[in-house]
Amino acid sequence: MQNLLKGKTILVMGVANERSIAWGIAQSLHNAGAKLAFTYQGERVERRIKELVADMPDSVVLPCDVTKDEEIDAVFATLEKETGTLHGLVHSLAFANKEDLEGLFVDTSRAGYALAQDISAYSLVAVTQRARKLMKDGGSILTMTYLGGERVVQGYNMMGVAKAALDSCMKYLAADLGPENIRVNAISAGPIMTLAARGVRDFSTMLKLVSEKAPLRRGVTQEEVGNTALFLMSDLSSGITGEIIHVDAGYNILA
Ligand code: N5H
């Protein structure tokens, strides 16, 4: 797998620290020979991500708050200047207010709904719009989703509705960009202990429950998600677009 992505430039959005799913993905892509660019949000993450990429000397690290069009524009302007062509994009970011991930979905506020949709679903459209122009040789775009967008998972609430929209955005984008040989897919990962998950109430209990029930009787790792991302970024998956691949130890097949 060492040279599977040699000559490809891939933008990874959503590394917050070493436990991020995006970081697991970045490591797989790096080991396969890809040149990587990263975006981060906020000063605290900037320090962390710059430490992490220290051993990836030709990588580019750029700030990007996906709620701001001008910041997204700046990222792609820099990439166009520095690398010219883009072959892949990994979108691994989401946000919902804490109060919209607790209690009942029926209590979601208008502002909380809009914010979660903007950051978690529309951002895929916004970045795809710009990435398309740099994907002159075709490309592969990947987003991260979760089962709670397909079914009601207790407590996922607002984020479930945002993931349903994200899944649908992924499919419409795949249909639009297929003629340009740009593929758009999603990985639906089982629960993984990340910074975003850590703040979620009862997450450890859910992790344990899912691990006990899943066909493989365990959870999944960032590395396993990373390897599936590597497959989707590579030409091995050239016939796959508009797809949700579950990397969840089989949990999604259960009633
Ligand atoms: C059913 C569940 C458990 C309940 C829901 C979890 C949803 C998690 C996803 C979002 C992205 C978490 C989130 O936005 C938390 C924020 O309100 C507060 N946290 C932060 O701001 C941290 C510091 C930063 C890093 O977070 C973000 N988002 O930037 C689902 C679980 C079993 C599976 C799961 C955890 C799915 C998922 O979507 O991540």
pLDDT of residue 2: 74
Domains of the chain (ranges; CATH) run: 9-250 (3.40.50.720)
C-alpha distances in Å from residue 169, one per residue of 121, 181, 224, 247: 7, 17, 25, 20
Pocket test for ligand 1, best of 159, 208, 251 (most atoms within 8 A of CB): 159
**Distance from the CA of 188 to the center of ligand 1, in angstroms?**
14
221: how many CB neighbours lie within 10 A of its CB?
15
Pocket test for ligand 1, best of 93, 101, 251 (most atoms within 8 A of CB): 101
* Residue 16 Cβ < 6 Å to ligand 1: yes
* Residue 66 Cβ < 6 Å to ligand 1: no
Which residues are annotated as catalytic? 146, 156
- The tens place of each residue's pLDDT in the chain, 255 residues long, gives 779 999 999 999 999 999 999 999 999 999 999 999 999 999 999 999 999 999 898 899 999 999 999 999 999 999 999 999 999 999 999 999 999 998 999 999 999 999 999 999 999 999 999 999 999 999 999 999 999 999 999 999 999 999 999 999 999 999 999 999 999 999 999 999 998 888 788 889 989 999 999 999 999 999 999 999 999 999 999 999 999 999 999 999 999
pLDDT of residue 178: 98
C-alpha distances in Å from residue 132, one per residue of 3, 125, 128: 24, 10, 6
What the block records as the tokens of 188 is 């639906």
User: pTM of the entire structure?
Assistant: 0.97
